[in-house]
Amino acid sequence: MTNMQAHLAPGTVLAGRYEIVRPLAEGGMGTVYLANDAKLQGRLWAVKEMPGGGNSEAQILAKLNHPNLPVLSDFFSEKGNDFLVMEYVEGETLEGVLKAQPSGVSERRLVWWALQICDLLAYLHNQNPPIIYRDLKPDNIIVTRGELVKLIDFGIARHYVGGKNRDTVAIGTPGFAAPEQYGSGQTDARSDIYSLGATLYYLATREDPANKPFQFKPPRSMNPALSPRFSEIITRAVELSPANRFQNVEELTQSLIALESAKTSPSTFLKKKGGGDFTVLEDSLDFGRIERQDQPVSKLQVKVKAGSLAVLDVATDQPWLRASPQRITQDTQVTVRVIGRLLPPGARHKGNVLVSGKGDKETIPILVTSKIAHLTSWGIALAAFLTALSMVPLAGFLGFLGMLSMYWTCPKEERGILNIFVAGASIFSAFWAVVGMAILLFGML
């Protein structure tokens, strides 16, 4: 019999180091406690107690490093149970946020949370082998004061194994788990998309999916404040058939980015304000022109007032922007990174790094310009060749089709120079079509 049947008493010391303060949360896979670190005085940890032998969660977390995940610090076994020691994330679960706001959560804020979760899910799904989280729900998502989302509890996460008809064990949270998690098929990336859709549905409508599993009304019919497009995104995410959902997280991300609310997400939460406990020396950062595959880095200097006990949160308001560390108590260089592959369509992009303390907030604009990624000198040469080919009798139509194909597969923001080549190919192709028709008619006379 293990200690899992009763809470650890405050003052209990684990591994000669971690002193239990109080329980934080309890679930089917274990209990999480707040603990003091006896070796690092003042440092708090989240310690998760689990039945012995269940170290798969530790094995998964140990290999991961993402700003929307808590950092794993230690793992040990004691008195028949296993213990995970993780970063203590100060904040509120999305379930708690919803309950604390009778007026509901704004669409803009929901989109910002969803974009962060999508970025994390894309990271998990692109591991080798892919990691399927399988337990996405409001209780497992914490949002900090700086609007940074953290996903907790990897108790039922699993590695995806291709070729299986169904999961070995049917498990999940009713209402938020996809239908295939109950034995009808194998879970994959689309299962996590379903759970994210169910979570957004609950946050947007206050209608708990657990009350009527797999039955979702149009979200906008219950919350008219939602935009039609956001309502459609949620509805598609919770389709019963995986084939009808977004097929990958990247597809869902692009749909969210397209929303007008994503363009104005939490940069409006934090307005710049001078004075107080800290100062950011830079007014803005301009990364200049970057390639889509680039991940350039720059620095912000944050100066904390001497003698101040302020704890500052650092966050960003775009999925393509990263800032670390995310918590500051002294003078610090904040590393700012742009993830080029996550930039939305368009040549010019703006995001913000958000630094906040009690009663003191600053927003630092971050500017990025995307270089032409598809139309290299070789691309332009190919366009010229296809246009020239359209001048040749008989082969002209093939050149015209090739030019059209190149035009439509090129991102909209990079099509400007191709307009000239398309126009030329169209004229030459039309000319030879007219000539061909004339010759055909002349031959029939």
Tokens 């800290």 -> residue: 278
SS3 90: coil
The structure tokens listed for 295 are 């991940």
Identify the helix (H) or strand (E) that includes residue 217: none
pLDDT of 103 above 50: yes
In this predicted model, what pLDDT tens digit does every residue of 371-418 receive, in sequence order? 755 555 556 666 677 667 666 666 666 766 776 777 676 666 556 667
Residue 65 neighbours by CB distance under 10 Å:
10
pLDDT at 269: 43
Cis peptide before 325, with omega less than 30 degrees from 0?
yes
State the pLDDT confidence band at 444, using cuts at 50, 70 and 90: low
Find out whether 71 and 150 touch, Cβ atoms under 8 Å. Answer: no
CA distances from 144 to 78, 313, 356, 391, 429 (A): 31, 8, 11, 62, 60
Cα 135 to Cα 143: distance, rounded to the nearest angstrom: 17
Cβ count within 10 A of residue 423:
12
Angstrom distance (rounded) from CA 260 to CA 262: 5
Task: With H, G, I as helix, E, B as strand and everything else as coil, classify residue 3.
Answer: helix
Whether the pLDDT of residue 276 is over 60: the answer is yes
Strands (E), 235-347: 278-280, 285-290, 297-304, 312-316, 321-324, 327-328, 332-338
Amino acid, single-letter form, for residue 367: L
Q: What is the spatial distance between Cα 134 and Cα 158, in angstroms, rounded to a whole number?
A: 8
pLDDT of residue 148: 83
Q: Give the pLDDT mean for 137-146.
A: 87
Q: Mean pLDDT throughout 26-49?
A: 86
The confidence band for 110, taking pLDDT boundaries of 50, 70 and 90, is: very high
Q: Residue 403: which H helix or E strand, with range?
A: helix 396-409
Residue 386 confidence (pLDDT): 66
Task: Please enumerate in sequence order all residues whose Cβ is within 8 A of that of 349, keeping only pairs 6 or more positions apart, or say none.
Answer: 318, 320, 343, 367, 368, 369, 370
Q: Decide if 316 contacts 354 (C-beta within 8 A).
A: yes
Report the length, in residues, of the chain.
445
By mean pLDDT, which of 158-167, 234-243, 404-413, 431-440 is the weakest? 158-167
| pLDDT at residue number 2 | 44
Kindly give, in sequence order, each residue whose CB lies less than 8 Å from that of residue 225, ignoring residues fewer than 6 positions away: 104, 107
Q: Which of 39-48, 148-157, 328-337 has the lowest mean pLDDT?
A: 148-157
Please tell me whether the overall predicted TM-score, pTM, comes out greater than 0.75 for this model. Answer: no
Contact status, residue 382 vs residue 406, Cβ threshold 8 Å: yes
Q: Which of 5-9, 105-109, 288-292 has the lowest mean pLDDT?
A: 5-9
Q: Which of 10-14, 53-57, 82-86, 128-132 has the lowest mean pLDDT?
A: 53-57
Please report which helix (H) or strand (E) contains residue 33, including its range: strand 30-37
What does R_g of the chain's alpha carbons equal in angstroms?
27
Q: What is the DSSP string of 350-365?
A: EEEEEEEETTEEEEEE
State how beta strands 158-159 and 72-78 pair: unpaired
d(CA 149, CA 21): 24
pLDDT band at 155 (very low <50, low <70, confident <90, very high): low
Average pLDDT across the chain, whole number: 81
pLDDT band at 163, cuts 50/70/90?
very low
**Is the previous residue joined to 51 through a cis bond, with omega within 30 degrees of 0?**
no
Quick: pLDDT tens for 56-85.
Answer: 777 777 888 888 888 888 999 998 888 989
Give 443 or 26, the one with higher predicted confidence: 26
Distances in whole angstroms, Cα of residue 311 to Cα of each of 30, 90, 261, 273, 417: 30, 11, 29, 17, 51
**Sequence-distant (≥ 6) Cβ neighbours of residue 168 within 8 angstroms:** none
**pLDDT tens, residue by residue, 172-225:** 788 899 998 887 677 889 999 999 999 999 999 999 999 988 899 999 999 999
Q: Check residue 227 and give its pLDDT.
A: 93
Please indicate whether residue 142 or residue 172 has the higher confidence score (pLDDT).
142
For residue 23, say if its preceding peptide bond is cis, omega within 30 degrees of 0: no
Residues whose CB falls within 8 Å of the CB of residue 317, separated by 6 or more in sequence, listed in order: 112, 147, 265, 266, 267, 269, 351, 352, 354
Q: Which residues are catalytic, by number?
A: 135
DSSP 3-state of 321: strand
| Residue 78 bridge partners (DSSP) | 81
Strand, coil or helix: 157: coil
Q: Determine the straight-line distance between the first and last CA of the chain, rounded to whole angstroms.
A: 101
CA angle, 33 then 330 then 309, to 5° = 65
Query: 297 by DSSP, 3-state: which?
Result: strand
Cα 58–Cα 165–Cα 137 angle in degrees, nearest 5? 45
Q: Which two tokens stand for residue 127?
A: 């591991």
